[in-house]
Chains A and B, each alone.
Chain A
Amino acid sequence: MTKRIELEKIVIDKGDEIALANRRMIEEAGVLALNLIGSPGCGKTTLLEHTIAALANPADGSPPLRIGVIEGDVQTTLDRDRIRRAGAPAAQIETDGACRLDAAMVSRALTELDLDELDLLVIENVGNLICPTGPKLGEHLKIAVLSTPEGDEKPAKYPAVFALADAAVFTKIDLLPHLTYDLDRAAGDCRKINSRIRVFPLSSVTGDGMDDWTGYLRSARAGLVAEHEAPGRPAS
C-alpha cells in the first residue's frame, strides 16, 4: 500500500541555513556585514579602498573601524591584492564562471579572515546588477552601487536590487560635468522603488559625499553592537 504525502515547503535562495550560520558567526564577533552589489566597473573596489582609509583614520576624531573584505570575481585575485594594499585583510572568491556569490562560497572564505580583528565585513559580490540580487550571504545590509556613467535610468530598468537594498551608493559624481546624468532622477526612482532606501551620491577619488557614507556605516555598526549588548536580550 502506498500513500502520497506532502512535505514542508523549502526556501531555496533566501535565509537558507548556510546564510543564517554565516550571519550568526559574523554577528557573534560584533561585526556588521555588507553585501555590495553593482555592475563591473562601477567602482565598488575603489569605494572600498577609500572607505577603508576613511574609517581607519576618521577626520572627526571618532574611533577607527577595522574592515575586512571578501572579494568575489569570476577569476583573479587582483581585487584582493588591491584591498590588502589599502591596508585591510581580504579573501578572494574566484567563482569560475558563476555570475554571483552564494552563502556556501562565503562560508569557505570566512575561514580565511579573523572576525575578532574586524568591525565591518564587506562582501563585494561579482560585478553584476541582476544575478546577485536574490541570494542572502549572511549580510546585515544589502548595498546597491551604481556609477554615474552607467546612466540615471538604471534604477528604473533594473529595479529588483534597489527594491531589496538598504542603501544605494551613486559613485563617480566627480564625472557629472561631463555626463548627461540627472542625479535627482536616479535618486528619485530609487526612492519610488524603495521608500526606505538611503541614497549616498559620492566620489571616492575627490572624497565628496564620503562622510555621509562612512557615517552611515558607523551608525549601522553601532546599532548592531547596541542591539547585542542590550539588556534583556536572550542569551544564545
Chain B
Amino acid sequence: MPMLEVKEIRKAFDGLKVLDGVDLSVEKGDVIAILGPSGSGKTTLLRCLNFLETADSGEMIFDGEHFRLGHVSHRDIARLRKKTAFVFQNYNLFLNKTALQNVTEGLIVARKMPRDKADEIARKALEKVGLLDRCDHYPSQLSGGQQQRVAIARALATDPEIIFFDEPTSALDPELIGEVLAVMRQLAEEGMTMLVVTHEMGFARNVSSKVLFMEDGVVVESGASKEFFENPKSERTRAFIRNITGEPAV
C-alpha cells in the first residue's frame, strides 16, 4: 500500500490552472524526482502536499487516512505537517536562531521535547550533514550550501516519514551544489522517503528511483528513473531529455 497517495489534485491561481488533475503515489523508501519546465506546477504540487498552498480539490491518502483536499481542518493540517518535513529553495532558516536552535526549535516548541534530548538529536543531525562544528553559527554566518545542509538537518531531526525538497540546489552557487546533493544521496541510500522537485538531472537519473515529469499542470510521464531516461515513452519526454542532456544550442 502506498504511504502517500494523491488523486486528481487541482489548483488554480486567478483562473490559471497550475495543477490540472495530478495523481501521485509514493511508497515508503521512494525517492521521486519531479521534473519539468518552469511553470509546470512542480513546486505548487509540493506546496499543496504540505498545505503551504490550499489545493482546490483532490484526494489525499496518507498512512491510510483519507482527506479531501481543500477541506482539511487546521488540526489535521498541523498533525500531517508533523509527519513530514520541507526543504526550501532558499533554505528559510530562522534568521534569529543559531544552526543548532534552528534544528531544535521544531522539537522543543512544536513537539514539547526536553531541551537536552532535543540538543542531542540536533547535534546528531548536524553531524550527519557535516556541520556539527558550525552549530553555534547564525544563518548569516553560513554559506548557502551550509545553510541548506542545516535546513536538511532541521528536516531530519523531526524524524519525518517523508521529506519534500523544493529545488534544494537552485539558489546555490555551482560549487556548493555538490555538498547538498551528497547529503541527499546519503539520505536516499539510507532509505528516506523523498519527493524532490529538481533540475539536477544527475540526481534524477542516478539517485532517484522514480521520476514524475510534469508540464502545464499535468503529469506527462512517470515511472522508474532508468526506464524514464533510457526508454522514454512520449515524444515530449524525449524532447525534454534531449534538451537537458544534449549540448546547449549556442
Bind each other: no
Q: What is B's interface to A at a CB cutoff of 8 Å?
A: none
Q: What is A's interface to B at a CB cutoff of 8 Å?
A: none
